[in-house]
Structure 1
Amino acid sequence: MIDSQTDDTIFGLDAGATAGFTIQVVHAMDHQVMDGLRTAVIVPGMSGNIERRSIAAQLADRIEQEIRAGTWKAELPGKRTLADRHGVNVKTCAAAIELLAQRDLIGPATVGKGRTILPQPKSRKSKGRLSDKRLLVIHQSGGVINVEDYHLLQRMCDIWTRSHGEVGWAVVDFPRCKSPGPQLDVLIKRHSADALLMLMPGSGWHREAHRRLPFYLSGGPYEKDVPLSLGACKIDHEVKRVVQHLRDLGHRRIIFPTEGMDEGLWHAILDGLRPENGAKPEIGTWEDHCPQFPANVPEAWDAYWGKTFARLKPTAVIVHEDAHLLSLYGYCFVHGLKIPSDVSVVSINYEPRFEWLQPRPAMMRFPANLALAHFQHWIEGGLKPIGMKFFPLEMAEGGSLAKIR
């Protein structure tokens, strides 16, 4: 696989998360720009105004007491139930739940399920393990982890548990974290961590982690002068593959809208859209074909689609988050656009429940088994840096692609 590296900074992204990516990304970027990227941590109680933070923190303390008292055993009830029980609004309850996740009391959010109550640390004495060490999993806060990402993390944790022992979970608002070092110190101390597994961390986290503990990156930005272990695939390469497939079907007006995306990642996607011969698009600029929609609000995205379709008249759309795909399907249905006869759709993200959509979208799937083998190699190597490993995405063909008419 060709590496787009041109200098010292490369971006890797796993899904996921997050906030929705299920792929991992790599892209070269200017080192000075990397050093100047904005990041900032939300420590417990740092969101909203002072009064709301205080209420959320107090509510988190109260729910923590209930958990430790056995009021809630397997999982927490929903936000509305907890909000009604404690006489607060849902927004405050949601903030309190995030604080509980940061305290490693509950697991990450998953669609259709309550937050799992995590077992509390017990004696670290064990038999038949390489050692007794505690792994801390860190991922983006404020969103639902994609099913594929969550399963991958869980399988990684299972591997760790068999070889070393306990696993803790923590959430961080990576885009707002300007000082990852102090936040890492807090998390490492709180969770008694001996090693880190970070899902798509923000800029600078790999460097600060290297100064503290062994770590593994499941995606996320890094600089090559920092020894590391990373499992990823190259987004510019994968976007080029998808774009070429669409061009083979006759499409020329292809768009890839984004939202809240890191600048380096956005440039990687833009590089994937641009043809290697330097040809200009039929309408507007290539930057126009990779629009950055500023708000993560359903109603706003309907308006964004309207303006973009009116101006660029795309015949194919690439998306990277589940919500974006659902929004596009809804927009097309409401406005009488047929998929795929009027517009073809590809998701650089695999979501098994989308198999039920009609037409079933074409999706790109990250090879989890290869990533697990690389993670296990890191563990068996004594948690020492083993470098980066890139994996090509697998195309799951659907009914959302058609030749241009």
Structure 2
Amino acid sequence: MSQQACLKTRATTIARNRSLDFDRMTAKVTNVSAIKRVGAIEAAVAALRDMIETGKWADRLPGTRVLAVQLGVSQPTVQLALLELAEEGLLESGGERKAYRVKNRCVKSSPGNVPKARRVILLTHQALERTAESGRKVLETLHRLLMASDWDVEYRVVDFLHARAPHRNWDDVIGAEPGELVVALFGRPALAEWAIKRGVKIIFHGGVTGGFQVPMVAVKSSHLLTEAYQRLIELGHHRIVTPLCDRPPSYIESMREAVRSQLEAAGLPYSPAYHTPESKYLRQDVSWGIMESLFKRERPTALVLLDWRELVTTFCFLSCLGLKVPKDVSLVLLNDQVDAEWFLPRLARFKFPTYRMARRIKAWLEGKWEPNHMRATVPAEWVPGESLAPPPK
């Protein structure tokens, strides 16, 4: 059977399974009145922020035990929520074992002295709807937060992803004057260099700075990869593969170091060409070709994939070989993708703290927070799934 015919057959099967799965899910939630979509920490932050802004407390807040009872959450959840509000600049810590205090806030301007709307440019390398979902969700959440605070938000699309140096037309295309604020999704060294030379205040959400002093808020992929490999090695895997397609050299280096350290710590040899093959391109034919080469050499027992499209192509490749997940090959997605909910068996992956990252970027824009060492690494949550199993004998 040709690759195209196999893909078409597999797509039909997945669609039929999705329909059956949806019917089963619908039957389970018929009697549920609402589905909780906001985490406990985010809900506590929102509730406390409303209380602060409406003047419930003039100075000192009650203790975490009292607040936990009032909000109906645990004390650790309240502590994390208070820490987030302190990072936003609404609260200040009274010190160890002391209650938080409400920060002194400026009186609103009189009607004749209304400040101008603050302006920020959200910059992407391609149309927002085509960007990776994990990054897109952060920008969309940030947009909502900024609009609620009377910010003037503008979008710009500039293909900076593969630029080796700043382009002459970026001044006109981006349209940011010296001192203005820019948030770049998956930034790159050339963009960092342009912003510094131009005097633009820029922050990256993900990406690579190339040593330039540009702040960044991101989930660190090498940390996620380390956790994924630890779990797979504990199950008995050692033929684990992570393709690194269309990634910057510094990113590839950090990911390879993470894989090498985990394998060698388990007494296993590490081969960059086998465990972490790379390519300059991320395309269906490239991903398929990498899989063909690997399986001819020595069949992997586990695959950790960075991109959702890459995972779909790989799953089709496995199906054409008659291999099943996780019986024959375990799968992990090193990303956050809403479509992963449709994957059967349930996919092992990571859930990103979208709201927390958006709030941190907003706090930086408002001058209320600076990341340590120019980078704020936000931890992601491991979602176990059912696509992991011990390697076949």
TM over 0.5: yes
Partners of 2:285 and 2:310 in 1: how far apart? Answer: 12
Question: Could you tell me how far 1:324 is from its partner in structure 2?
Answer: 0.6
2:157 aligns with: 171
Q: Contact 2:241 / 2:303 at 8 angstroms: preserved in 1?
A: yes
Correspondences of 1:129-140 after superposition (within 5 Å): 131-140=116-125
- The reply on whether 1:222 has 2:218 as its aligned counterpart is no
Q: How does the TM-score come out when normalised to structure 1?
A: 0.62
**Cα-to-partner distance string for 1:132-168 (whole Å, 9 max, x where unaligned):** 2321111122782133322210111222223353222
1:379 aligns with: 365
2:383 aligns with: 396
Q: Which of 298, 312, 323 is 1:326 aligned to?
A: 312
Partners of 1:401 and 1:128 in 2: how far apart? Answer: 61
Aligned partner letter, 1:202: R
Question: Partner of 2:278: helix, strand, or coil?
Answer: coil
Q: Contact 1:139 / 1:172 at 8 angstroms: preserved in 2?
A: yes
Question: Partner of 1:134: helix, strand, or coil?
Answer: strand
Q: Percent identity?
A: 22
Q: Which of 322, 327, 343 is 1:336 aligned to?
A: 322
Partners of 1:246 and 1:130 in 2: how far apart? Answer: 55
2:126 aligns with: 141
Q: Contact 1:280 / 1:286 at 8 angstroms: preserved in 2?
A: no
- The reply on whether 1:189 has 2:175 as its aligned counterpart is yes
Q: Which of 347, 350, 353 is 1:361 aligned to?
A: 347
Correspondences of 1:4-403 after superposition (within 5 Å): 131-141=116-126, 144-180=130-166, 182-189=168-175, 194-211=180-197, 212-222=199-209, 226=213, 228-275=214-261, 278=264, 285-381=271-367, 387-403=374-390
Partners of 1:313 and 1:135 in 2: how far apart? Answer: 49
Aligned length: 279
Partners of 1:216 and 1:383 in 2: how far apart? Answer: 12
Aligned partner letter, 1:253: R
Compare CA radii of gyration and give the structure with the larger one.
2
State the superposition RMSD in angstroms: 3.1
Question: Partner of 2:204: helix, strand, or coil?
Answer: strand
**Cα-to-partner distance string for 1:144-198 (whole Å, 9 max, x where unaligned):** 2133322210111222223353222222222432332634312343899931010
Question: Could you tell me how far 1:385 is from its partner in structure 2?
Answer: 7.4
Say if 1:205 and 1:259 are closer, same or farther in 2 by CA, change over 3 A: same
**Cα-to-partner distance string for 1:306-355 (whole Å, 9 max, x where unaligned):** 21122132100000111111011101111111100100000011111221
Question: Could you tell me how far 1:225 is from its partner in structure 2?
Answer: 6.0
Partners of 1:364 and 1:185 in 2: how far apart? Answer: 37
Q: Which has the higher contact order (CA 8 A, sep 6+)?
A: 1
Q: Which runs of 5+ in 2 are unaligned?
A: 1-110
Q: Contact 2:348 / 2:384 at 8 angstroms: preserved in 1?
A: yes
Question: Partner of 1:166: helix, strand, or coil?
Answer: strand
Q: How does the TM-score come out when normalised to structure 2?
A: 0.63
Q: Contact 2:120 / 2:181 at 8 angstroms: preserved in 1?
A: yes
Question: Could you tell me how far 1:400 is from its partner in structure 2?
Answer: 0.6
Say if 1:349 and 1:210 are closer, same or farther in 2 by CA, change over 3 A: same
Say if 1:193 and 1:183 are closer, same or farther in 2 by CA, change over 3 A: farther
Question: Partner of 2:376: helix, strand, or coil?
Answer: strand
Partners of 1:225 and 1:259 in 2: how far apart? Answer: 24
Aligned partner letter, 2:126: S
Question: Partner of 2:208: helix, strand, or coil?
Answer: strand
**Cα-to-partner distance string for 1:349-385 (whole Å, 9 max, x where unaligned):** 1111221121121111221122122112213326877
Question: Could you tell me how far 1:224 is from its partner in structure 2?
Answer: 5.6
Aligned partner letter, 1:393: A
Q: Contact 1:231 / 1:374 at 8 angstroms: preserved in 2?
A: yes
Q: Contact 2:352 / 2:381 at 8 angstroms: preserved in 1?
A: yes
**Cα-to-partner distance string for 1:61-114 (whole Å, 9 max, x where unaligned):** xxxxxxxxxxxxxxxxxxxxxxxxxxxxxxxxxxxxxxxxxxxxxxxxxxxxxx
Q: Contact 1:215 / 1:383 at 8 angstroms: preserved in 2?
A: no
Partners of 2:181 and 2:150 in 1: how far apart? Answer: 10
Partners of 1:277 and 1:284 in 2: how far apart? Answer: 6
Partners of 2:263 and 2:134 in 1: how far apart? Answer: 36
Question: Partner of 2:389: helix, strand, or coil?
Answer: coil
